[in-house]
Amino acid sequence: MLIDDFMPVYDFSEKHDIVIRASAEDVARALETADFSESFIVRWLLRLRGMSGENVTLASLKNTKFRILAEKLNEEIVIGLAGKFWTPGGAMQDVDAANFKEFARAGFAKATWNFMLQGEIPVTNSSPQTLLTTETRIQCMDEKSRKSFGFYWTFIQPFSGWIRNEMLAIIKKKAEN
């Protein structure tokens, strides 16, 4: 997995998946074009965090501090971010594929988030199915940031998971239509 190249060791994680009745190519196309702001939940939760809740696509994430770290066509895309996620402004850092692995500033954390497609899973009928998985991993750079993030994660993790499940549902709807 590409995500392992960027964050093989982490302190916190969550994983969600969904089976989609479509080929991996169709799911990848839906992922690239999905507007996650179609979900009221996504819009609302992102606005609470001080982010734009409008036109939330993989392409629009590039206009924020989220960065595409790696991509393997129709298989996996990895997004990265670094900051003090537990603070109101987040103190987001400018990381990219070239410097993400080396980022280790004390008091900060970094996160990877992927979408991985496992195409053509066993089916009982003639239509193709793809397992779409999203995993979020967080690595804290020191004990102080680990404690701060851990406290924050206790409250935010259910909402983070809710957003991820909403995104998966949007991709599923788009790919199956």
Three-class SS state of 15: strand
Model confidence over 7-23: pLDDT tens digits? 999 999 999 999 999 99
> Residue 151 pLDDT more than 90?
yes
Give me the residue spans of the domains in the chain: 2-176
Query: Among residues 42, 51, 23, which one has the least CA distance to residue 121?
Result: 23
DSSP of 64-101 = TT-EEEEEETTTEEEEEEEE-TTSSSTT-B---TTTTT
* Single pTM value for the model: 0.89
CATH architecture for residues 2-176: 2-Layer Sandwich (3.30)
Q: For the ranges 83-97, 99-113, 130-144, which has the lowest average pLDDT?
A: 83-97
What pLDDT shows up at residue 57? 82
Model confidence over 23-72: pLDDT tens digits? 999 999 999 999 888 888 888 877 776 666 677 788 887 777 889 999 99
The share of the chain scoring above pLDDT 90, in percent, equals: 66
What pLDDT shows up at residue 125? 62
